[in-house]
Chain A
Amino acid sequence: MLVGEVKSIKELYGLDLIAPGHRACAGCGALVGVRQILMASKRPLIVVNATSCLEVTSTPYPQTMWKVPWVHLLFENAATAASGIEAALKVLSRKYGRQEHYIIAFGGDGGTFDIGIQALSGALERGHRFLYVCYDNEAYMNTGIQRSGATPLGAATTTSPVGTKIVGKTQQKKDLLEIVVAHRIPYAATASPSHWKDLVNKVRKAQSYDGPSFIHLIAPCTRGWYFDTSEAIKVARLAVETRYWPLYEVENGRYRITHPVPNPKPLEEFLKVQRRLSHLLLPENAEVLERLKAYVNERWERLQRLSACFA
C-alpha cells in the first residue's frame, strides 16, 4: 500500500486490484483511470458500482475482474449502496468487532449526473465516509452513445445527432462538481488518467477525510467519441491542455488548480481528434463553437479567481 505522496510510477507496481481479461473495449479510457484509482486506494477496500460499462464489462457471470469485494445493485443507487455498506460496517464493528473498510463507488456520467444525482446528493448530505468517482465519458455509452447531462454543447450522440436543422446537443454540460461542492463535503476534485500522479494523489487525499469525497474523472471513449483505440490518453491529455478539463480540487471549500495550464492549446486541438465534436470546426457551426469556447473560458477564469482567493 502507498504511503504519502506518490513520486514515481514504480510505487504502483504490485498494487493492481483488477485481474486481466475484462471485456472493456480496446482503448477504454475509463478502465485505465479506474485501474489507477484502485492502485492508489487505501486498503482494505470495497468497491460499489452503478450499472454502467464498467459493471457490465467487468463481471460477466461467473467471471469477475475484481480482486476486492465488489457490489452492483442498480443504475441510480451506487451512492446509496455505499451508504448502506458504510453504516453496516460502522455498527457491526461497534457491536461485533467487524473490520472497517474504505469504500469507493464508481458511476458513469448517466448514473451520476442524471438518474443517480438524487441518491448522490442524499449520501453526500448524510456524510457517509466513502469516495464517489464519476467516470465521465460524456454520454450513455453502455446503451449506445445517447446524450446525457454531461454531454458537451454541440456533441453528436445517437439522441443528439448532427441533423440538417439541429447540430448535436443544444445545451451546455452540467457543472456537476459545483453541485457536489455545494454539499460542503471535505474533498472534491477533477482528474484525468493522462495525469496519473495528480489522480493518484487526489485519491489518497480524498480517502484521508472522515466523510464523503468525490472525484470527477474524464474517461475518453473510443466508441462514443470516435478516435483510434490507441489515443484515449492522448485525447484526455488534450482535454487538460486545452483547459476543456481543468484539473482542480476543492478541499474544505478551498479551491486550487492542481495543474495550471498557462499556455493552453486551442480548443480546436481537442475537438478535431474526435468525430463527435469535429463538425464544430465547420464554418456553418462557428456559432456553436464560440458558445462552447465561451463555456470553457468562463469556467477556467472562474476557477482561477476562486483559486486566487484561497492562495
Chain B
Amino acid sequence: MSLLQPKTLKPMSTSEAIAYAVKQANVDVIAAYPITPQTIIVERLSEYVNNGELDAEYIAVESEHSAMSACVAASLTGARVFTSTASQGLALMHEVLYIASSLRCPIVMAIANRALSAPINIHCDHSDMMGSRDAGWIQIFVENGQQAYDRIFQAFKLAEDEDILLPVGVNLDGFFLSHAVEGIATISDSEAAMFLPPRKAKYYIDSSMPMTFGAFALPDWYFEIKHQVVEAMEKVPKKLAEIEEIYYKMTGRRYGHVGAYKTDDAEVCLICAGSAAATAKFAVTSLREKGIKAGLLSIRLFRPFPAESILPHIKDVKALVVMDRAMSPGAPSAPIGQDIKTVLYDAGLNIPVANYVYGLGGRDISVAEFENIITKIIEDLKAGRPIERGVRYWGLRI
C-alpha cells in the first residue's frame, strides 16, 4: 500500500506544485494571461507543453476575459481545461465566470489571491475571489502547497462529475503560498491517471449531435435554468467527501470541508481561511500551553459554504472570532463573518462574533497578533464585557 510507504518530498513552490498536478491531470487545454503572483503556474505549464511533457493546447490569449472565454468554449467542446489568474485578472473575467457556471463547464482555475486596485498592489488578500463569490463557482481555500497540489486532482474530479458540472476555483494566498517553497509529496503519474481518467463529457459541441449552447432565455425559463446551478451546488459537500475518501486511500491525506484544530473543548474559536490558518494554529497551540481554551476552524470549502460541517465545531463556544481578508464596505459584516452569522442564526444560536478584517494588500499577521486577538476576547468574556458586534479592522493605523 502506498499509504504506508514513506514518500519522498519534492521541493516545490506552491505554484510549481499546482502546475505539476495540472500536468499529471493530463489537461487538454490551458488558456491563460500573465498576472502576478499567478504567473509561475502558467510559465511552468508552458514549459511542460513546449517540452512535450504535456500534450495540451496552450492558448496564450490577449486578456483574462479571453482566457476564461476560451476555457468555456474548450470545456463545452469536451476538453479538460485549466487556467490561473489573480486580482484584476479575475475581475476582468467577471462576466465570463457566470457563463462558465451556468453553461456547466467543469473548468479548474487556480486563483493566487491578490488585492484589487486602487491603489495598485500585488500582494495577498481575498478581495478578488470575494468579488466573484456569487458567480456560481465552487471555491476552495488551501493553506499550504501540499493542499494545493492535492486539491487540483480533487477539483477536476469534482468539477467533471456528471452530478456537479460546475467550475472550481482553488484559492492560494498570493506570495504567502504562491512563492513559498516546501516539500511536496506527489502521487505517481499512474496514480493520477487512475484517480482522474480522461474526461468523458456527456454533452459537448460536435456535429454528431448538433446542439445549441448559450441560447436566449426569457422570464419563462431563465429562473429554472439558473436554479440548476444551486441544485448542483447542494450536492458538492457529499460528493467532495466521497472524492476525498478515494484520495485518502491512495495518499493518506484528507482535508475535509473545514480544518478543525482543538475545537472540541474550545471556549473561543477563531475562524479564518487560507495561509493565515497555519499562523493561527501556532497561536492556538501557544495559548493552550498557557491554559487558554482556544480553537481554530479553517474554512477550506468556501462555496458551497459547509454549514453542516462547521456547526458541530462552534455550537458550544462562548465567542467566535471571524477573520476576513477582504472587506465589504457598508455591509453589516465582512464576507466570512456574514456566512458564519447566518449559520448561527439558522441554528438558533446567539453566540457573539467578533468580526475582523485584516491583512489587506498583503499586510502580514503574526502568531502574536492572533494570540492578542483571542486573549482580548477571553478577557472580555471573563469581565462580562459584551463582545463588540459589527466589523473591526485589525492592524489598521488610524
Contacts and interface: CB of A to CB of B under 8 A. Distances in A.
A121 B62 contact: yes
A122 B207 contact: no
A308 to B, nearest CB: 35
A146 B137 CA distance: 35
Chain A CB count within 10 A is highest, among B59, B61, B71, B75, for: B59
A264 B235 CA distance: 67
A84 B217 CA distance: 24
Nearest to B218: A60
B66 A119 contact: yes
Contacts, number: 158
A61 B217 CA distance: 5
Interface string B61-72: 111011001111
A89 B55 CA distance: 13
Interface stretch (A7-15, A39-47, A224-232, A243-251): A39-47
Nearest to A82: B73
B215 interface: yes
Nearest to A87: B57
A83 to B, nearest CB: 5
Contacts of B57: 87-88, 90-91
A88 B78 contact: yes
A76 B64 CA distance: 13
A43 B209 CA distance: 14
A138 interface: no
B216 A55 contact: yes
A76 B65 contact: yes
A213 interface: no
Nearest to A72: B214
Contacts of B66: 77, 80, 83, 118-119, 122
Contact of A70 (B59, B95, B213): B213
A81 B31 CA distance: 11
Contacts of B217: 61
Chain B interface size, as a band, is 35 or more
Contact of B77 (A55, A89, A94): A89
Chain A interface size, as a band, is 35 or more
B232 interface: no
B216 A85 contact: no
Contacts of B72: 73, 81, 84
Interface in B214-264: 214-218, 221, 225
Contacts of A121: 62
A31 to B, nearest CB: 16
A67 B210 contact: yes
Nearest to A62: B221
B205 A122 contact: no
B73 A88 contact: yes
B77 A88 contact: yes
Q: Which 3 A-B pairs have the closest CB atoms?
A: A84-B73, A122-B62, A44-B207
Interface of A: 43-46, 48-49, 55-56, 59-62, 64, 66-74, 76-77, 80-85, 87-92, 94-96, 98-99, 101, 118-119, 121-122, 125-126
Given A71-B76, A73-B103, A119-B63, 5 more contacts: A69-B207, A81-B73, A85-B73, A95-B55, A125-B62
15 contacts: A59-B214, A60-B218, A64-B212, A69-B211, A72-B213, A80-B61, A80-B73, A82-B73, A83-B70, A84-B75, A90-B57, A92-B79, A122-B61, A122-B66, A125-B62
